[in-house]
Amino acid sequence: RQQNVILYHPYDSFMPVVDFLRQAARDPKVLAIKQTLYRIGSNSPIVDALLEAREDGRQVSVLVELKARFDEENNLGWARALEKAGVHVVYGLVGLKTHAKMTMVVRRESTGLRRYVHLGTGNYNLVTARVYSDFGLFTIDEDIAEDVSELFNVLTGYAHQTKYRKLLVAPTAMRTELLERIEREAERHRTYGDGYLAFKMNALVDKQIIQALYRASQAGVKIDLQVRGICALRPGIPGVSSTISVTSIVGRFLEHTRIYYFHNGGQEELFLGSADLMPRNLDRRVELLFPLEGADLILVRDAALAVHLKDTAQARILQTDGSYRRAEGDGFDSQQWMLDNWGFRGSDSDPGITQLRSPA
């Protein structure tokens, strides 16, 4: 209730997310629970908590994405079970997959109604949370809560919304918002010489985004990209992308999180979320990116993004010709560092946080 809570799975357990829903299900002061479900899995304590909440008289609304590839049968079965229990089940907007990960709990308190929100970069799936790296945020930020409430209204057909207070939402505005921020960084660098971008994602194939990154590089902006899978951008081309570096980490855990960092002359912005930089994510899915601010931004910037960018043990470096070579260096394994150190963040035994590469 006092501050945001950031979890980085699998370095943090996924059980706090499950417990959040279980406690909400059993709390007589909770009036409503709303959630999106994409990859649910065959045995889901998340769904069990939602069913329990409905049995105890809570209002429960769930968006189940029936077109989640390879999970269609599981999701259909869970949707039927939820409907049978009296849960308000919806299936999203026609022609769009809902890939956004969000939960909202509405609770009656002495000061009035309060909305508790969880947003994530990965699925509400206890199995994949053990092997996929993903962030989750618990927050009571009023602007984010209002955005999430309005987005749920859009997904259930009760509203039409294109602009949000803090969230970047696809397919309505995310592409434009990202392009504007990349161009802002280029303009900033032309004037002050301190432009810097760092993105971490699963795939980068969107033509407009790639062209914007090329333009930023040509303006002199330093750009660090970490793309686990396919990357259609070519780094290191003189006069085109000479200030861009691209790495990919393939290690013990599947790098699934998405992080978008904009230096912005020291007025930094950092977004987490469900969207990769692909046409399908930006144009044909409901996706969201959510901002971190203050200490939360610094934590993820320095203790996650910067650490992964330093990797020389599992990282491969994308070459101009599209091939990859192993990173050279001291064999620094960012995933092992996370296992050893992430749990000590903010404590007296914190081993020290690396700093993101200086944009200067």
CB 321 within 8 A of CB 332: no
Of 15, 26, 167, 146, the C-alpha closest to 100 is 167
Interhelix angle 207-218/174-192, nearest 10 degrees:
10
How open is the CA angle 296-6-58, to the nearest 5 degrees?
Answer: 130
Domain extents for the chain?
5-161, 170-344
304 Cβ contact list (under 8 Å, min separation 6): 8, 135, 257, 259, 338, 342
CB 306 within 8 A of CB 355: yes
Of 275, 216, 277, the C-alpha closest to 241 is 216
- Locus of tokens 């000061």: 111
CB 251 within 8 A of CB 326: no
19 Cβ contact list (under 8 Å, min separation 6): none
| 5-161 and 170-344: identical CATH topology | yes
CB 180 within 8 A of CB 202: no
Which DSSP symbol is given to 304? I
pLDDT at 244: 99
pLDDT tens across the length of the chain (360 residues): 678 999 999 999 999 999 999 999 999 999 999 999 998 878 899 999 999 999 999 999 999 998 866 567 788 888 999 999 999 999 989 899 999 999 999 999 999 999 999 999 999 999 999 999 999 999 999 999 999 999 999 998 877 888 999 999 999 999 999 999 999 999 999 999 999 999 999 999 999 999 999 999 999 999 999 999 999 999 999 999 999 999 999 999 999 999 999 999 999 999 999 999 999 999 999 999 999 999 999 999 999 999 999 999 999 999 999 999 999 988 999 999 999 999 766 433 333 344 444 333
CB 144 within 8 A of CB 290: yes
CB 289 within 8 A of CB 282: no
- The single-letter code of the amino acid at 261 is Y
- Locus of tokens 């970069």: 121
Q: What is the CATH number of domain 170-344?
A: 3.30.870.10
pLDDT at 345: 60
pLDDT at 70: 54
Of 253, 320, 244, the C-alpha closest to 14 is 253
Count of residues for the chain?
360
| Residue 52 phi, psi (nearest 5) | -65, -40
| Residue 159 phi, psi (nearest 5) | -155, 165
pLDDT at 353: 41
CB 273 within 8 A of CB 205: no
How open is the CA angle 265-271-272, to the nearest 5 degrees?
Answer: 155
* Residues noted as catalytic: 99
pLDDT at 349: 36
Assigned fold of 5-161: Endonuclease; Chain A (3.30.870)
Of 236, 207, 238, the C-alpha closest to 224 is 236
